[in-house]
Amino acid sequence: MGLIRHGGLIGVHGSARVSVQGEFAFGKRVSIGRNSIIQVSRHATLRLGDRVYIGREVEVSPDPDISIGSYTSVQDRCNILGQVAVGAHCVFAPNVFLSSGIHQFMERPAWLIRDQDALVADPSYTARSPRCLPIQIEEDCWIGINAVIMRGVTLGRGCVVGANSVVTKSFPPYSVVAGAPARLLRSRLAFHPPRAISSAAPEDLPYFYAGFDLRQRSIASSSTGLKAFGRFRLALDCSAARSLQLDVQADQPLKLACLRQERALPAGAQQVSFELDGPPTDGLIALEAADMQGRPCSVAIRRASAQN
């Protein structure tokens, strides 16, 4: 009931409890382990990418939505609750807890906490603070054993969270953090988006920020650039730039969208440009590739640059 197949198979252990009243979309070769609880209530959405691994005794309960990117593994006894987006290639050690919600204790301090929760849950009531603050875990993050990620936190690409940490604030890409509350210990690398990036330069890989297949075996087998599927993002220094220029390889005719602009591309190698009228201040540029029927499709990016 409510299951949507995307041309793949899902393996669910016989002891797992999967209750779907909303939408559950999954990719190829998803695995859900023993005694895990997957609960998708009405009007909620759960999306799992290709080869997502859900370990034993894991609880996943979206409210309103949770997405977990391809090749991410969620080890035993993790809890992912509320509104959470996890990127591809992430590694969750056992006992990690993420929740975008919180029990209300300051809305009416003299009240019972359960009564304050009920008050804030009433759609007609305007609370002092939001009931839910989404959590965003970008690609290639490693979350250590027993870590807690609090609501409203964003961890940039490549972050590492030490064991037993309580993460109460956001950290930029490639941060190594630990402690309760977590603090910055060091950085894995200096993350400074350049004006131009190339798929042939290993030092540029972090700036093919999200949505790309960056496994070393995939990079080694491709001579046409780094492959992305559907939505993807690039990290570039776009200060004072007037346009974004891309060298792309399309396996089929497709539409490429960026910054509310769309380009129809034929199959083959080509250059395409988009106007940068007020680009994102964080330097992350979102693009989306779709076939002529509007379905997500793949595209390879060889070079990208911000042009004056």
Q: Are strands 135-137 and 79-86 parallel, antiparallel or unpaired?
A: parallel
Residues in the chain: 308
Q: Are 197 and 204 in contact (CB under 8 A)?
A: yes
pLDDT for res 6:
46
- Say if residues 66 and 135 touch (Cβ distance below 8 Å): no
Of 175, 169, 143, give the one whose Cα is nearest residue 157.
Answer: 175
Beta-carbon contacts of 138 under 8 Å, excluding residues fewer than 6 positions away, are 87, 154, 155, 156, 157, 158, 159, 173, 209, 210
Average pLDDT of each block of 10 consecutive residues along the chain (308 residues)? 53 91 93 95 95 96 96 98 97 98 91 93 84 95 98 97 98 97 97 95 96 93 91 93 94 94 96 85 89 95 94
Report the C-alpha dihedral over residues 206, 210, 211, 212, rounded to 10 degrees.
0
The angle subtended at Cα 294 by Cα 261 and Cα 276, nearest 5°, is: 15
